[in-house]
Amino acid sequence: VTGPGDVLSNSASQSKVTSLLQGLTKALEKNPNLLGNSPSTEKLALHLVSGTNKVTCMSYDVTKTTSPLRATDFKFTNLKWLQLDSQYDCDLLPPLLITDQLANNPLRKHLQNILEMVIRGVQESLCVIDGEVRQDDEALDKTDSSKCSKADKKAQESKIYQVNLYIPNELGDIDETVSSVLGEMKCTGVLASRVFVHQKATVAEASQAVKEDIIRSFAARLEMHWDSLVEEEIGSPEETIVVHEPPRRVLIPLPYSKVALSDYLFPGEGPSEALVSILDLIGVKVSESAVYKDFEGQPDQCDLYNLTTNVDPPKNEDISVSTPSHSLFLLSGIAIAFVILLVSLFIQFYIK
């Protein structure tokens, strides 16, 4: 909250702020897969006095609608961020079978069904950090700063935690119902994830952050892709195989920080579009060379070819060209070899 004077000192202004916090919380809860929301019910309101640049902070519990704002002490410190990298292999997802019952569903419903499969698998997955299964209440950073040298501290600050998610493969009850399948939808590719947590984060907080990032990134791509489709692309019955390429993720590092923000680029777009978005949203200018535009890499054209043809793409060394001149050359070679054979037989039996 920004304004002249101490806005949070009177009850009327406090009532407006609490209503705003409650409204934001309800809006974020409507789509938890796409919008982030803190697990804590306590929200903070910062007030900047425009005339003196004085900053005050007050807390509010959104579950207690009648409770007032409470003054809170705070201070700005140099926060150490811990980086966690992970990947989600979409090829592990089973294809969504389009049966007679699902044939009339819109494309958005099919995408929602795929998203639900991703959410279920990620939420039930086992999170392994640097190849080790750790306790949830354990601190992610186990370094004792009081016993570390400057070199060790610098190495620890640049450390990247590698996270692997192991999704359970449970068959469950076998459905013996025979259904007619009209088609299928399959996701392929790798979703890259990078999250940053505070220096005192536990293993449980880090694992939850990685899972939420993967789910939110997948949901955001499907939402953006759906919004970009036109009516002709949604329903084209004359095409039996259609390949959709959702936007890919790029990272934009913030100045003087290791923290990077995410943006998504459609096929054909460049980093300049992402820089415009960041400038409009938070007013930060970033050099185009600093953007991690290959964080996920470009899609493999061979994979796209296989999806549309169901056969391996032709290779240059496997291509054989059959032309009339080639056939004539082959026949001439056979005739010459036959003549040489006759001459050798004549010499063998008659000249001797």
**Three-state SS string across 173-231, please?**
CCCCCCCCEEEEECCCCEEEEEEEEECCCEHHHHHHHHHHHHHHHHHHHHHHHHHHCCH
At residue 194, the pLDDT reads 94
Query: What's the predicted TM-score (pTM) here?
Result: 0.75
Give me the percent of the chain exceeding a pLDDT of 90: 19
**Residue 19: is its pLDDT beyond 70?**
yes
**Residue 126: is its pLDDT beyond 60?**
yes
**Residue 110: is its pLDDT beyond 70?**
yes
Q: Quick one: average pLDDT of 312-339?
A: 47
**Residue 317: is its pLDDT beyond 50?**
no
What residue spans define the domains of the chain? 2-71, 79-143+150-170+179-230, 247-308
At residue 140, the pLDDT reads 92
349 or 177, greater pLDDT? 177
At residue 29, the pLDDT reads 80
**Residue 220: is its pLDDT beyond 50?**
yes
